[in-house]
Chains A and B, each alone.
Chain A
């Protein structure tokens, strides 16, 4: 019996997880990721939480953080998670672009996709790999969040329930925020010849597209809404929100993801393998 679309997608997704967690390349990435988060946890997050804890209830502290643009940090009940949130909003999208740039391009150049596409539809392949990358990101987010929660528990065990609550909000918001980045890389990967090209195009889209839209919207302000299509458009606003409020802007990345995945699927269906 031929497996269903969902079964194929799930098998491809599992194979992508294996690629990440059971191959040399994936392990190298994990070690790098763990090292980066070790540095972030033990320096900025740990020390800033002490500092923020002291400043949180003083008017001087409040105005200082508002002045440097990090006033939202004080809205978090647990400072460590506030700092984590700000770091993760920068680091995870960048890591996503790097890790998801090669969803199909190398395999297409090598001819490996032909072996897969003899057995599954291109749609299953596209969504399976996208799901695999997203699941990998979710696992990494979860791992880094749990280590942050452990750090909080080490400081004060009574904060554990609040920490889990806030961490859940962060987890959900971050996964949603990363969806359009992964979808954009999936679409680019289906188009270009290499992961490097996909990354270069992603950078061009972020910088030049935003710049061009800004220029044209000076003449026609309605065009400014096109920025909504650029993944990460909402991140600067997102950093100003705390805990479950962060989901207020979730509609933007979800909309972007739907559009980008539709484009990517359209491309891969028309692409010669």
Chain B
């Protein structure tokens, strides 16, 4: 088992008497990316800001690698993409990244090399001499991610890394995270649950300042019933539900959204339910878009049991 890289104990924070975080306790170990989700105003950015040392919590204890947030010992080990933070408009992207690399203790040639490396990693090598004002929103975001990659930190906290990005850039960011995951632990705050579902095995859910954690794989396999999520082409939902309900082993079929069905079944009665479902679709001449194991992350996090 890995040693915890983040330890939070009874962490609380409030703004002018309004609770943002309420007695949060959790630990994170190094490894796969960890998702941080929650509705707007749930306290996600507050938590990340406290972890980065940008603000102090009202009460509770936090340590990263055994040090208080903002401690000098964390320089180069912990990095972040703070939400909405912009680079200095007076200097070029290259000058600023070089400066940050020097602050992390890199020598002049190392800092120059590192600046090129991180810009190349986010496909921005051409903007080395550009000022931040010359970059589009997506490029600025990637430049900010580039600063987080300087010095190959052990932990990177990303606050909404893909917000406002086009699909191509979103995929680039996902690729960077996947490539670096073996050596760097990412904590990603995002509203894009599909993206978190692809990247993360562990989710931290914050709602009204209260946190709960979820292991994505573990929660599926240990239950006596399993789920399939089916996205159909336009179809008659009552017909689909009626046919599926007649299949042995299916205990419940719900239709949470248009053309989307969640099928709950008993794997002991029908272990290969996915094949049975596809056969049923084929027999009825329906068309489907996607069939996936388990519930969507959105269902699991926000609608399970509701």
Q: B70 touching A114 by the CB < 8 A rule? A: no
Q: A272 touching B49 by the CB < 8 A rule? A: yes
Q: B75 touching A114 by the CB < 8 A rule? A: no
A59 contacts chain B at the CB level, 8 A cutoff: no
Cβ contacts under 8 Å, A117 to chain B: 53-54, 70
Q: B90 touching A11 by the CB < 8 A rule? A: no
- The distance in angstroms between the C-alpha atoms of A111 and B81, with both chains bound, is 10
Take A2-B105, A117-B70, A119-B76 as given contacts and tell me if A15 and B86 are in contact as well, using a CB distance cutoff of 8 Å: no
* Contact residues on B (Cβ < 8 Å of other chain), bracket: 20 to 34
Take A11-B102, A112-B85 as given contacts and tell me if A118 and B56 are in contact as well, using a CB distance cutoff of 8 Å: no
Q: A273 touching B105 by the CB < 8 A rule? A: no
Chain A binding surface SS class: helix
Q: A3 touching B105 by the CB < 8 A rule? A: yes
Q: B75 touching A2 by the CB < 8 A rule? A: yes
Cβ contacts under 8 Å, B78 to chain A: 118
Take A114-B52, A117-B54, A118-B75 as given contacts and tell me if A1 and B147 are in contact as well, using a CB distance cutoff of 8 Å: no
In chain B, what residue has the closest Cβ to A12? B103
A169 contacts chain B at the CB level, 8 A cutoff: no
Q: A119 touching B87 by the CB < 8 A rule? A: no
B84 contacts chain A at the CB level, 8 A cutoff: yes
Take A117-B54, A118-B79 as given contacts and tell me if A112 and B87 are in contact as well, using a CB distance cutoff of 8 Å: yes
Q: B54 touching A120 by the CB < 8 A rule? A: no
- The distance in angstroms between the C-alpha atoms of A273 and B147, with both chains bound, is 18
A121 contacts chain B at the CB level, 8 A cutoff: yes
Q: B80 touching A114 by the CB < 8 A rule? A: yes
CB contact between B82 and one of A8, A19, A114, A270 (< 8 Å): that residue: A114
B194 contacts chain A at the CB level, 8 A cutoff: no
CB contact between A111 and one of B73, B82, B103, B104 (< 8 Å): that residue: B82
A36 contacts chain B at the CB level, 8 A cutoff: no
Cβ contacts under 8 Å, A116 to chain B: 100, 103
B72 contacts chain A at the CB level, 8 A cutoff: yes
In chain B, what residue has the closest Cβ to A8? B103
- The distance in angstroms between the C-alpha atoms of A118 and B78, with both chains bound, is 8
- The distance in angstroms between the C-alpha atoms of A121 and B73, with both chains bound, is 10
Interface hits, A172-226 → B, CB 8 Å? none
> What's the minimum C-beta distance from B129 to chain A, rounded to whole angstroms?
13
Q: A2 touching B99 by the CB < 8 A rule? A: no
Q: A2 touching B76 by the CB < 8 A rule? A: yes
Q: B54 touching A110 by the CB < 8 A rule? A: no
- The distance in angstroms between the C-alpha atoms of A246 and B99, with both chains bound, is 39
- The distance in angstroms between the C-alpha atoms of A54 and B86, with both chains bound, is 60
Contact with B along A19-41 (1 / 0, CB 8 A): 10001110000000000000000
B91 contacts chain A at the CB level, 8 A cutoff: yes
Take A3-B105, A115-B147, A116-B103 as given contacts and tell me if A121 and B72 are in contact as well, using a CB distance cutoff of 8 Å: yes
CB contact between A114 and one of B54, B96, B99, B102 (< 8 Å): that residue: B54
> What's the minimum C-beta distance from A129 to chain B, rounded to whole angstroms?
12
Q: A110 touching B72 by the CB < 8 A rule? A: no
* Contact residues on A (Cβ < 8 Å of other chain), bracket: 20 to 34
Cβ contacts under 8 Å, A11 to chain B: 99, 102-103
Most central of A11, A107, A115 by chain B CB within 10 Å = A115
CB contact between B80 and one of A15, A118, A272 (< 8 Å): that residue: A118
Interface hits, B83-125 → A, CB 8 Å? 84-91, 95-96, 99-100, 102-105
Q: A2 touching B52 by the CB < 8 A rule? A: no
> What's the minimum C-beta distance from A110 to chain B, rounded to whole angstroms?
5
> What's the minimum C-beta distance from A112 to chain B, rounded to whole angstroms?
5
In chain A, what residue has the closest Cβ to B96? A115
Q: B84 touching A119 by the CB < 8 A rule? A: no
Q: A19 touching B54 by the CB < 8 A rule? A: no
Cβ contacts under 8 Å, A25 to chain B: 90
> What's the minimum C-beta distance from B45 to chain A, rounded to whole angstroms?
11
Q: A23 touching B91 by the CB < 8 A rule? A: yes
Take A1-B105, A3-B105 as given contacts and tell me if A15 and B99 are in contact as well, using a CB distance cutoff of 8 Å: yes
Q: B103 touching A3 by the CB < 8 A rule? A: yes
Take A2-B76, A120-B75 as given contacts and tell me if A107 and B88 are in contact as well, using a CB distance cutoff of 8 Å: yes
Take A2-B73, A2-B75, A121-B70 as given contacts and tell me if A112 and B86 are in contact as well, using a CB distance cutoff of 8 Å: yes
Cβ contacts under 8 Å, A23 to chain B: 90-91
In chain B, what residue has the closest Cβ to A122? B70
Take A117-B70, A119-B76 as given contacts and tell me if A272 and B88 are in contact as well, using a CB distance cutoff of 8 Å: no
Cβ contacts under 8 Å, A1 to chain B: 105
Cβ contacts under 8 Å, B73 to chain A: 2
Binding site for B on A (CB under 8 A): 1-3, 5, 8, 11-12, 15, 18-19, 23-25, 107, 110-112, 114-122, 270, 272-273
- Provide 7 A-B residue pairs closer than 8 Å at the C-beta atoms, listed in order of the A residue: A15-B99, A19-B91, A111-B86, A112-B86, A115-B147, A117-B70, A272-B55
Closest 9 A/B residue pairs (Cβ): A111-B85, A272-B55, A119-B103, A273-B54, A114-B82, A23-B90, A114-B85, A3-B105, A110-B86
